[in-house]
A and B are shown apart, each in its own frame.
Chain A
Amino acid sequence: MEKIKVGIIGPGNIGTDLMYKVMGSQNLEMKTMTGIVESEGIKRAAALGFHTSIEGVLAVAQDKEIGIVFDATSASAHMKHAPVLKEAGKIVFDMTPAAVGPFVIPCVNLDHLTELNTDNYNMVTCGGQATIPIAYAINRVADCEYTEIVACISSKSAGPGTRANIDEFTQTTAKALKTVGGAERSKAIIVLNPADPPLMMSNTIYAIVNHPDEKAIVDAVNQIVAEVQAYVPGYSLRVPPIVDGNKVTVIVQVEGAGDFLPKYSGNLDIINAAAVAGAERVAAKLLEGGNNHVLR
C-alpha cells in the first residue's frame, strides 16, 4: 500500500518519539531524520535503517519524495525553516511554539484546516492539546465567558526548551484557548512537580459559562474525551464535570503510550500523538488525490 514519506527535523526526545509513532502509522512512512550535529537521535534513526543527515532542513526540503515534515526543533529555528519548507511544497507539522501556521487541535479543527489546504500546522502546546478539546466541548454547549487551565507535568518530562521559556507555554496555551477553544477570555497555568515516581500529566479545565446545563456539558465532555482517545489512548477523565453555579471544573489525565518516552511523559506523548494523527489525516487525503499540493 502506498504511503506518504516523512522527514523529521530535530532528533531529540520529541523527534525520536515521533519517529516511533510514524513507524506504527498506516499512511506515513518514516524516511529521513535530520539534525545539525551527530547525536544519539541520529544514531538511533540510522540504526533503525532510516536515512539520516546533519544538513538540517535542507535534507528534507530537497528530497522530492518527502511529503510531510515534522519540525521538532525550536521556535526560532522553525521561523527559518518554515519559508524553505513552504517553497519546497512540504506540508509541515510544527511542534514548536513558533505559530507560523494556524493552531491545530485534531478533534476540533483538523478537518476544517485540511479543507483549506493548510501547509503549516502548529501543534500549540502539550497543555493545549490536553485541555482545548474540553474547553471547546464546554463552550459548544454552555458558551464560555472565561476558560482557565492548569497543567501539571512531571519535572522529568519538562525539557530544556520548556524550562528556558515557560512564558511561551502559558501565553500560547491561553491564546489557543480563545482562538480554538472559543473562550472570550482565558488563562493558562503550568506547574512542574518533581515527585518520584513521576506523576502522570494532569490537566484541570475551569470555565465560567453562560448556560450551565449540566447534562449537556457532561454529554459534550464525554463525547470529546472519546474523540481524543481515538488518537491518544492514554487520555482519560479523572474528575467528570462538576457544575457549581456558572463554574465548570473538569480534570483529565494523560498517560503516555510509552513508544519511546516513559509513560509519565504524557505531555510529550499527547502533542506527538496529535501531530501524527493530523499527519495521518493529511496523508490519507493526499493518497486519495484530494490535494495536489504536494504530489505534483
Chain B
Amino acid sequence: MSLDKNRKIHIVDTTLRDGSHAVSHSFTTEQVTAVSSGLDKAGVDIIEISHGDGLAGSSINYGFNKMPEMELIKTASRSIKNAKLAVLLLPGVGTIEDLQEAHENGAQMVRVATHVTEADIAIQHLQAAQKLGMVPVGFLMLTHMAPPEKILEQAKIFVEAGATYVNLADSAGYMTPEDVRARVSLLVEHLPIPVGFHAHNNLSLAVANSLAAVECGADYIDVTCRGLGAGAGNTQAEVMAGVLKRLGYSTGLDFYDYMDLAENVVEPMMQRPQIIKSASLMLGYAGVYSSFLLHTYRAAEKFKLNPRDILVELGNRGMVGGQEDMIIDVAHALARQGAVR
C-alpha cells in the first residue's frame, strides 16, 4: 500500500448500523429511506445497515429491532444508486442463512466481525459470502486488546479466507493516535489487501484517530452522521469529510450534502445528544465495548448502582463484544456485595 496523498479514501457510513445502538434499534423504513438516499447523494462509497450487533442481532440480549431487519435492508437497497450496500455479521450471532437472506434483499458486501483474537470463526462466513457473490471484508473488534503483531497474525487469517480488506475497530474508544498508528502501519506494511479503521469517540479522539489511520495508509474509514453510534458514538461523518477535504484527500464526498444530511435528517432522529457523558468516558478509559452503554444504564437503574462501577468491573473481567448478558451478572454480583457490606 502506498501513502500516496492522492489515493482515494473510501468512506464507509455506518449510521444505519452502529447508529442503531444509539436509537435502541428503532430505525424505521422511512428513516432508512431518508438516510440511505441522502448518503448515496453525498457520495459515500459504502453504506452499512444491520442491527447494531450485526445480522440477526435482534434479541433480548442486544435489544429487539423495531422493524424487521430484512425489511430495512430491502428499503436501503431500493434507495441507493451508486453506493455499495453492506451488512455486518458477527459469527456466533448471525449465520450464513441470515447472510443469504440479506443478500436476497440487496446487500452486496458483508463485514464479518470477530473479537481481535478469534478471526478463524469468520472463515466459513467469508467463504460463503464469496460463493453468494458478495464482497467479503474481515473486521476485528476491540483491537486495543491485542498487540500489533497479534493483530497482523489474525488479519492474515482473513486474507487467506478471501477478505478484500481488513477493518480494525477500536470498539471501546480506548486508543490514542499512537495506538492506532502502531496497528495500522504494521498491517499496511505487511498485508496484500487494504486496511480500514473504525473509531469510537469515548475519549474524544475518534476524528484524530481516524486521521492517524489515514496518514498511516488506511484506505477505508468508518463514519456516522453526527457520530451516531454506540457509547459516545463514532467518527462524526461530516466533520471527517471536512477534515479530509481541507487536507486535500480525495473522497468523492459532497461536504455540504453530508453536513445537511447530518443536520436536517439524522439529528431529528436522535434520542439523546451524542456527547461524552461519564459512563461513556469510562468505556474509553476502562476499555469496555461501547454498545454496553445503554444496557449498563438499564442495569444500574434496576440494581441501584452507579453505571461507572459496573463498567469498571466489566473491564476488569475482560468482557468482549457480545457479552451484554454479563452486565446483569456483574450488576447482580455488585449489588450482592453491597448488601453484604
Cβ contact of B121, chosen from A152, A166, A193, A251, cutoff 8 A: A166
Cβ–Cβ < 8 Å partners of A152 in chain B: 323, 325-326
Asked if A150 is an interface residue, CB under 8 A from chain B, the answer is: yes
Q: Interface readout for B302-325 with A: 1 if CB under 8 Å, 0 if not?
A: 100000000000000111111111
In the complex, are the beta carbons of B95 and A171 less than 8 A apart?
Answer: yes
- Option from B96, B320, B326 in Cβ contact (under 8 Å) with A167: B96
Q: How many A residues touch the partner, as a band?
A: 20 to 34
Asked if residues B121 and A206 are in contact (CB atoms below 8 Å), the reply is no
A140 within 8 A of B: no
- CB of A98 within 8 A of chain B? no
Distance between B314 CB and nearest chain A CB, rounded to angstroms:
11
Closest CB of chain A to B149's CB: distance in Å? Answer: 15
Total A-B contacts with CB atoms under 8 angstroms apart: 96
With A148-B60, A208-B60: A166-B91 Cβ-Cβ less than 8 Å: yes
The interface residues of chain B lying within 8 Å CB-to-CB of A242 are 328, 332
Per a CB cutoff under 8 Å, which of A189, A202, A251 touches B322?
A189
Complex partner residue of B325 from A155, A164, A195, A251, CB under 8 angstroms: A251
Given the known interface contacts A164-B123, A208-B60, the answer about A192 and B317 at a Cβ–Cβ threshold of 8 Å is no
Q: Which of B61, B115, B124 contacts A164 (CB 8 A)?
A: B124
Q: Are A189 and B93 interface neighbours, CB within 8 A?
A: yes
Distance A146 CA – B332 CA, assembled complex (angstroms): 23
Residues of A within 8 A of B332 (CB): 238-239, 242, 251
- Interface size classification for chain B: 20 to 34
Cross-chain contact B329 with A170 (CB below 8 angstroms): no
> How many whole Å from A162's CB to the nearest CB in chain B?
8
A146, A150, A170, A244: the one within 8 Å of B61 (CB) = A150
B328, A192: Cβ atoms closer than 8 Å: no
Known: A148-B60, A150-B61, A167-B124. A191 touches B92 (CB 8 A): yes
Decide yes or no whether B117 CB sits under 8 A from chain A.
yes
A192 lies within 8 A of B115 (CB): yes
A190-B92 Cα distance, complex, nearest whole Å? 5
Residues B320 and A191 in contact, CB atoms below 8 Å apart: yes
CA distance A233 to B329 in the complex (A): 21
Does B263 make an interface contact (CB < 8 A)? no
Q: Is A163 an interface residue (CB 8 A)?
A: yes
Residue of chain A at shortest CB distance from B332: A239
Q: Is A281 an interface residue (CB 8 A)?
A: no
Complex Cα–Cα for A55 and B125 (A): 34
Q: Is the CB of B323 within 8 A of A193?
A: yes
Q: What does the 1/0 interface line of B75-109 toward A look like (CB < 8 Å)?
A: 00000000000000001110111000000000000
Q: Mark B30-62, 1 if CB is under 8 A from A, else 0.
A: 000000000000000000000000001001110
Residues of the A chain whose Cβ atoms lie less than 8 Å from the Cβ of B322: 150, 189, 191
Closest to A190 in B: B92
Min CB distance, A174 to chain B, in Å?
10
Name the A residues within 8 Å of B118 (CB-CB): 155, 163, 192, 194
Residues of B within 8 A of A194 (CB): 115, 117-118, 318, 320
Task: Judge whether A239 and B329 touch: CB under 8 Å.
Answer: yes
Answer yes or no: A249 CB below 8 A from chain B CBs.
yes
Contacts of B153 in A (CB 8 A): none
Complexed CA–CA distance, A187 and B321 (Å):
18
Judge whether B189 is part of the interface by a CB distance below 8 angstroms. no
Query: Across the interface, do A239 and B60 meet the contact criterion of CB distance under 8 Å?
Result: no
A-B residue pairs in contact (CB < 8 Å), sample of 6: A152-B326, A167-B91, A191-B322, A204-B329, A208-B60, A251-B332
Give the 4 A-B residue pairs with the shortest CB-CB distance, closest first. Answer: A195-B318, A204-B325, A206-B60, A167-B95
Interface residues of A (CB under 8 A from B): 146, 148, 150, 152, 155, 158, 163-167, 169-171, 187, 189-195, 199, 202, 204, 206, 208, 238-239, 242, 244, 247, 249, 251
Inter-chain pairs besides A193-B115, A194-B320, A206-B60, 12 sampled, C-beta below 8 Å: A148-B61, A163-B120, A164-B120, A166-B124, A170-B92, A170-B95, A171-B97, A189-B61, A202-B326, A206-B61, A239-B329, A251-B325
